[in-house]
Structure 1
Amino acid sequence: MPKEIKHSDRAHALLSASGANRWLACTPSARLEEQFEDKGSTYAAEGTLAHEIAELKLRKYYTEPMAQSTFTRRLNKMKKHELYQDEMLKHTDTYLDYLKEITLGMGLTPYVAVEKRLDLSRYVPESFGTVDCLIIGGDTLYVTDFKYGKGVAVSAEDNPQMKLYALGAYSEYSFLYPIKTIKLAIIQPRLDNISEFDLSAEELTAWGEEIKPIAQKAFSGEGDFVPGEHCKFCKAKAVCRARAEQFTALDDFKNLKPPLITNEEVGEFLGKGQHIESWIKALKDYALSESLKGNEIKGWKAVEGRGSRNYVDLDKAFAHLKENGIDEAVLYDRVPLTVPKLEKELGKKQYRELLEESKLVEKTPGKPTLAPAGDKRKAVTNAVDPAEDFK
C-alpha cells in the first residue's frame, strides 16, 4: 500500500476547488486571503478525521487488497484520536453504502479512484484539488464528495467545487473512456442529506471555458471586491473593507422622508443587513485575538470572562451531601430524551419501526420563519381566502 498521507498535510492551491464559490464571485479575495493564517477549527479537524476513516474503508473495498487485521489496526489507530466518536463509523458506512449502490448495479467492473488528486490548471491557473471518490462506468463519470459537517445542507446543483473536480477528472480520463454524462453527488450523512446533480460533458466543458477569464482575474488579484453569502469562510471576512461598507442599512434611514418605511424598503434593508450578526461576530473574534497579542483596538480590551464552578470530585461531593442529610432525589434530574436524541440512540431503522410505524411520534409544522425569496421551501401565509371568509 502506498505511503499514507494525512488529509491535513495535503497542499492547497491558491484557487482551490473548495473556495471556488468565493473567488468566482469576488475575484480579488484569493490574493487578499494570502496574508492571513489558516487557523483551522475543531470542526475542520473532526471532518478531516472522518474523511480519513472513510478513505480507509473505500480503499479496502475498492482499490487496495487489505487484510482485515491491517484494516483493524489502522482503524484502531484513528480511534485513539481525541476527536473520534463512534458515530463516525456509522456515517462513513452511509457514504460507502451509497457508492456500493452505484457500482453494484454496473454490468462491467468500474474504474474507481479514492482521494484522487486532479489537475485543474487547464481551466484555473496553477490549480489542483483532491476529490473524495470518482467512478467511471460505461459513458458516465460519477464525482462524489463526503461532507461531515452538520451546519448547513450543501447542494450539488451547479456546485462550482464539484464541477471543477468533474472538469479535472474529465480532462484526465476522457481520452480513455467515452464519457458523456457527469453525475455529481454530495453525501452529508449527519444531516441525512444526499444531493445529486446531472449534466452532460458538453455542458461541463462549456462552463469550464466560461470561467477561464474569471479564474485568470482571480489568480492576478484583479476585479472588484463583492461581499455576499460567500464571505462566510473567507479568512479576511472580519476586516474586509468591502464587507464592512455593505452594512449601511441604518445610514439609509436618514434619506427617507416619510415617517414609515414601505414594505419594499423593508425588503431592501433586510437584504443589506442579513449578514450583520455574523460580521459582528467575526469582528469580535478578530479584535479579541489582536488584543491578546497586545495590539490596541481603540475603545476595546480583552478581560477575563465569567468563570465556571465545577466539582473537584463529583462522587465525593455527592457522598458528602447525602451524609449530611441531603435527599439523593434532589441531586439528579430525570429528563426524557427528545425525539431527535432518541432517534440518534436507537438508529434510524429501529426508531422508524418502533415509533413512526406505530404512530407514536407526530411531526408538527414549524413556526413560520423569514427566508430569502430564492429559498426552495414553499411560501406560507395566514391570509384568509375571500371565498372561504364569505362562507
Structure 2
Amino acid sequence: MADHAILSASGAHRWLACTPSARFELQFPKSTSAYAEEGTLAHSVAELTTRFYLGEIDENAYEDKLAELSKSSYFNEEMLEHAESYAKFIVERLAEAKKVCADPVVILESRLDFSKYVPGGFGTGDCLIIAEPVLDVIDYKYGKGHRVEAQDNPQMQLYGLGALAEFESLYDIQTVRMTIFQPRLSGVCDSAEKSVKELKSWGTKTVKPRAKLADKGEGDFAPSEEACRFCRAKAQCKARTDKNLSLFDESPDPLTITAEEAGAILAKADDIEGWLKDLRELVSAALTAGEEVAGWKMVEGRSNRRFADEDQVVEAMKAAGYDEALLYKRKLITLTKMEKDFGKKTIAEVLKDLIVKPKGAPTLAPEKDKRPAYQFEEQVLAAFDEGA
C-alpha cells in the first residue's frame, strides 16, 4: 500500500473544496522543505517523550533513542521543551479522563482508516484517548507560520471518523473531541467537539460525494488561499491564474475608490501575494535550470559586508593602538533569552512588576482575526488622563 493516500486527511481542506486538484497535482513533483523535515523530527521527539511520560518505555530506552534523534541538525532544546509540554498535556488529559472513566485507553501514532467515506483514505493519529463516552483525537502541530484551528477542521474530523470505524464497536462513544496542540504559537491548544451523529452525517453527506469526484479528478477547480497553500500545482494552475487576474477587471467607478472598495481589494491581497511569490519561484527555477524566460534574468542579489575573521579583526585593531574594550558593546539579553536561560517561573518571581507589555499600536487586520477591535476611544481618554 502507498505511504500516502491520494485523498489524504491533511489535504482534505484542499480536495474537498477543489475536487480536481488531488489528481491534477500528481503530475507535479513532490517537494520537501526544511520546515517539513523539522516537523517530522519534532513529531518523533514528541512521540518518544510522550511514551516515556506514560511509562511505556524506561529511562534508558528514552535516553538512547533521544540521543539518536538529537544527532539531526534540526534538533534543539526548544524542540525538546515543546515535546515535553505536549507529553505533559497528554498525561493531564489522561488524568482528566480517569475521573469519568475507570479504564481509559491511550493510543499513540495509530493508523486511522476512513476509506468508508474516502476511497483509499487513511492517516496517522498522533494520539487517541478513549474514555467512554468521549473519544479524544489529538494532533501535534509543530509549525508556527499558520495557526490551525480545531473547529470544523476536515483533517481532524476525518481522523475522528477513522477512529470511530476502528473503535466504535468496542466502546460506547457518543462524542468526539478534536484537539490541535500547537506549542510554538504561544502554546495554542484548540478543541472542538462533534457528536457521533454529526460527524457521520458530515462524512456521508459532504465527504462521500466530494471524495468520489476528487478520486476521479472531476468537479470544478476552486482556487483559494487556503486550498492552494500546499498544492503542488499552485504555481502553474491556470484556474488560479485566471481567478487572480480577474480581480483586476473589477475596476471601481468613477475616478476614485472608497475605503470600502479598498477594503474589498485588500481582502484578496494575501492570496495575490502568495500567487506572485509562487510565480517568481517558477520563473527563477526555470532560469536557474538554463531555460530562457522573455524579459527576465537572474542577477547577483544584495549582500552585507562582514568580518572575514573576528579574532584577527580584534588583533589588528589592538595593533593599531585601539583599546580592545572599545570594540565590544554591552547589552542586556532579551526577556525571551532570560526566560530560556533561567526559567519562566524564576524570571516571573524575580522581576515581577519590572516586566511590562505595552499596548501595541493599531494595525490593520481582516474581520475574521480573533483579536478584539482596537478601542480608539479608550486611548484618547487615557491620553487625556495622563495630561491632566
Same fold at TM > 0.5: yes
Structure 2 equivalent of residue 4 of structure 1:
none
* Separation (CA, whole Å) in 2 of partners of 1:169 and 1:178: 13
Structure 2 equivalent of residue 29 of structure 1:
21
Question: How many Å apart are 1:338 and its aligned residue?
Answer: 3.5
Length-normalised TM-score, structure 2: 0.89
Could you tell me whether the CA contact under 8 Å between 1:63 and 1:113 is conserved in 2?
A: no
Question: How many Å apart are 1:383 and its aligned residue?
Answer: 6.7
Of 216, 219, 225, which residue of structure 2 is paired with 1:220? 216
Could you tell me whether the CA contact under 8 Å between 1:246 and 1:272 is conserved in 2?
A: no
Question: How many Å apart are 1:112 and its aligned residue?
Answer: 1.6
Structure 1 residues 175 and 292, CA gap change in structure 2 (3 angstroms): same
Deviations 1:22-47 (A, max 9, x none): 11111111112212222211111111
Could you tell me whether the CA contact under 8 Å between 2:225 and 2:270 is conserved in 1?
A: no
* Separation (CA, whole Å) in 2 of partners of 1:350 and 1:244: 53
Secondary structure at 2:189 match in 1: strand
CA RMSD of aligned residues (A): 2.1
Structure 1 residues 243 and 341, CA gap change in structure 2 (3 angstroms): farther
Give 1:277's aligned amino acid: E
* Separation (CA, whole Å) in 2 of partners of 1:369 and 1:307: 31
Matched, 1:70 2:70: no
Structure 1 equivalent of residue 231 of structure 2:
234
Matched, 1:79 2:70: yes
Could you tell me whether the CA contact under 8 Å between 2:53 and 2:91 is conserved in 1?
A: no
Structure 2 equivalent of residue 264 of structure 1:
260
* Separation (CA, whole Å) in 1 of partners of 2:108 and 2:116: 22
Could you tell me whether the CA contact under 8 Å between 2:54 and 2:91 is conserved in 1?
A: no
Matched, 1:251 2:245: no
Could you tell me whether the CA contact under 8 Å between 2:53 and 2:88 is conserved in 1?
A: no
Secondary structure at 1:275 match in 2: helix
Question: How many Å apart are 1:63 and its aligned residue?
Answer: 7.4
Question: How many Å apart are 1:122 and its aligned residue?
Answer: 0.7
Structure 1 equivalent of residue 386 of structure 2:
none
* Separation (CA, whole Å) in 2 of partners of 1:229 and 1:334: 45
Could you tell me whether the CA contact under 8 Å between 1:63 and 1:112 is conserved in 2?
A: no
Question: How many Å apart are 1:219 and its aligned residue?
Answer: 1.4
Structure 1 equivalent of residue 385 of structure 2:
none
Question: How many Å apart are 1:372 and its aligned residue?
Answer: 2.2
Question: How many Å apart are 1:221 and its aligned residue?
Answer: 1.2
* Separation (CA, whole Å) in 2 of partners of 1:95 and 1:60: 12
Secondary structure at 1:186 match in 2: strand
Structure 1 equivalent of residue 330 of structure 2:
334
Structure 1 residues 360 and 331, CA gap change in structure 2 (3 angstroms): same
* Separation (CA, whole Å) in 1 of partners of 2:323 and 2:238: 60
Identity %: 46
Structure 1 residues 45 and 161, CA gap change in structure 2 (3 angstroms): same
Question: How many Å apart are 1:93 and its aligned residue?
Answer: 0.7
Secondary structure at 1:285 match in 2: helix
Secondary structure at 1:135 match in 2: strand
Structure 1 residues 204 and 354, CA gap change in structure 2 (3 angstroms): farther
Structure 2 equivalent of residue 44 of structure 1:
36
* Separation (CA, whole Å) in 2 of partners of 1:179 and 1:171: 11
Structure 1 equivalent of residue 197 of structure 2:
202
* Separation (CA, whole Å) in 1 of partners of 2:307 and 2:372: 50
Secondary structure at 2:268 match in 1: helix
Question: How many Å apart are 1:295 and its aligned residue?
Answer: 2.1
Aligned length: 370
Could you tell me whether the CA contact under 8 Å between 1:18 and 1:161 is conserved in 2?
A: yes
Deviations 1:102-152 (A, max 9, x none): 112305232221111111111111111011111111221110011111212
* Separation (CA, whole Å) in 1 of partners of 2:165 and 2:39: 28
Structure 2 equivalent of residue 186 of structure 1:
180
Question: How many Å apart are 1:374 and its aligned residue?
Answer: 2.4
Structure 2 equivalent of residue 116 of structure 1:
110
Structure 1 residues 110 and 314, CA gap change in structure 2 (3 angstroms): same
Which range is displaced more, 306-315 or 182-191? 306-315
Which range is displaced more, 284-293 or 157-166? 284-293
Question: How many Å apart are 1:223 and its aligned residue?
Answer: 1.5
Structure 2: runs of 5 or more not aligned: 379-388
Give 2:250's aligned amino acid: D
Structure 1 residues 347 and 229, CA gap change in structure 2 (3 angstroms): farther
* Separation (CA, whole Å) in 2 of partners of 1:50 and 1:87: 10
Structure 1 equivalent of residue 301 of structure 2:
305
Structure 1 residues 196 and 352, CA gap change in structure 2 (3 angstroms): farther
Structure 1 residues 63 and 243, CA gap change in structure 2 (3 angstroms): farther
Give 2:113's aligned amino acid: D
Structure 1 residues 70 and 383, CA gap change in structure 2 (3 angstroms): closer
Length-normalised TM-score, structure 1: 0.88
Structure 2 equivalent of residue 368 of structure 1:
362
Secondary structure at 1:115 match in 2: strand
Question: How many Å apart are 1:91 and its aligned residue?
Answer: 0.4
Deviations 1:269-306 (A, max 9, x none): 22333322222111111211121112222211223333
Deviations 1:311-358 (A, max 9, x none): 443323322322222332443333333334433444332233233xx2
Structure 1: runs of 5 or more not aligned: 1-9, 385-391
Structure 1 residues 30 and 354, CA gap change in structure 2 (3 angstroms): farther
Which range is displaced more, 55-64 or 119-128? 55-64
Deviations 1:192-211 (A, max 9, x none): 21111112111111111121
Which range is displaced more, 301-310 or 116-125? 301-310
